[in-house]
Amino acid sequence: MKEEKFIPVNKPLLDGNEKKYLAECIDSGWISSEGPFVSEFEEKFAKRVSRTYGIAVSNGSVAIDAALEALEVGPGDEVIMPSFTIISCINHIIRKDALPILIDSDPITWNMDVNQIEKHITKKTKVIMVVHIYGLPVDINPILSLAKKYNLKILEDAAEMHGQTYRNFPCGSFGDISTFSFYPNKHITTGEGGMIVTNDEDLYNKCRSLRNLCFGKKDRFVHEDLGWNMRMTNMQAAIGLAQLERLDEFVQIKRKMGQLYSELLSGIDEIQLPLKETEYSKNIYWVYGLVLKQNSKKNVTDIISYLKENGVGSRNFFYPMHKQPILIQKGYFKKVSLPISEYMSDNGFYIPSGLNLNELEIRKVAKILLNYFK
């Protein structure tokens, strides 16, 4: 009897022009960051999100680092950000001896609660970091108003929002600077990779310099600043360009997947399904997340184990920043309590939702979940 294949949390879709463009890289010999696909990918991606400039980098985490550095976040500065996110968002803030000010989540959209931001703004606040989570964007208009009112910078982390819009404007087009990730579980992947986009020429030039070790303008090996080697290769950019060509198709696939999952799982009273839409956006289901309701007697650890035993991959939700052991060890967040973020982390998980997932696999995953909750 043939063993059934394991259904992973994510498997990318790479059946467009990826091989063709990679072959061009190999045939031409342009495999490094100097190759022509890098600038083409930057220009076309920036245009897609209504930005003037794009800076391709080696991953989404360093994109955030460079953006914060370009915004000149330093010792004593405060950066407002959600607690419920990945640790990449907070790393450079800590390293610069700045202070992260954490905001709890909205329990319905899973994004940070914008109504809690203004009370945390002080004279030391420099940046509001907007992080769109899992499929729906943050309600960003109120944040834009706060930034204008208090003269603050906005860094928009749109890592999970390829192809998403807010009130018909592309995610990644808001604020002073925005960042994306191209990890394999994103709508567009380059294996590893990221992008910084902005309309500000000074921020653009700063990020380009930071990306390339801040080599000197006149004498290459005379440095006036410290940067990183965070360059994207021509091969990565070639894959990214092929993926970008199909972004609209990918969004349709994701929404169709989300709709089917929601139909199949709607009968489970113990779980909260992802919100289909808000007044400003429709879900693109970067992942298909589920949260156990308070009336449930189940726990996420058992569910993930059960799914694995039945050939299905799944993953916990983010672990909130104010609960991270390394940050508590460093003296941060000892008296911080953010109950919604904590509840989502303890009771949330997501199931297979990659672009290569087919309908039979979706139905199999749903059936296994339904059997568990019965």
- Per DSSP (E only), the strands in the chain are 53-57, 78-82, 99-103, 125-131, 153-157, 165-166, 169-170, 177-181, 194-198, 271-272, 288-292, 315-316, 348-351
303-309: average pLDDT: 98
Q: What angle do CA 323, 325, 326 make, to 5 degrees?
A: 120
User: What whole-number distance in Å separates Cα of residue 163 and Cα of residue 194?
Assistant: 15
Residue 1 clears pLDDT 70, i.e. is over it: no
Mean pLDDT of the chain: 96
Residue 180 clears pLDDT 90, i.e. is over it: yes
Q: What angle do CA 172, 140, 191 make, to 5 degrees?
A: 30
User: What whole-number distance in Å separates Cα of residue 12 and Cα of residue 333?
Assistant: 37
Q: What is the pTM of this model?
A: 0.96
Residue 8 clears pLDDT 80, i.e. is over it: yes
Q: Which domains does the chain have, with CATH numbers?
A: 18-244 (3.40.640.10), 247-373 (3.90.1150.10)
Residue 250 clears pLDDT 50, i.e. is over it: yes
- Residue 101, exposed/middle/buried by CB under 10 A (0-12, 13-18, 19+)? buried
* C-alpha distance from residue 109 to each of 25, 184, 253 (Å): 42, 24, 21
pLDDT digits (tens, 9 = 90+) for 314-362: 999 999 999 999 999 999 998 899 999 999 999 999 999 999 999 999 9
The pLDDT assigned to 374 comes to: 86
pLDDT digits (tens, 9 = 90+) for 313-327: 999 999 999 999 999
- Within the chain, how many helices (H) and strands (E) appear? 12, 13
pLDDT digits (tens, 9 = 90+) for 141-162: 999 999 999 999 999 999 999 9
Which residues, in sequence order, are CB contacts of 54 under 8 Å at separation 6+?
A: 41, 42, 43, 45, 46, 195, 196, 197
Which amino acid, 356?
N
pLDDT digits (tens, 9 = 90+) for 37-68: 999 999 999 999 999 999 999 999 999 999 99
pLDDT digits (tens, 9 = 90+) for 83-102: 999 999 999 999 999 999 99
195-213: average pLDDT: 97
User: Containing H/E element for 325?
Assistant: helix 325-329
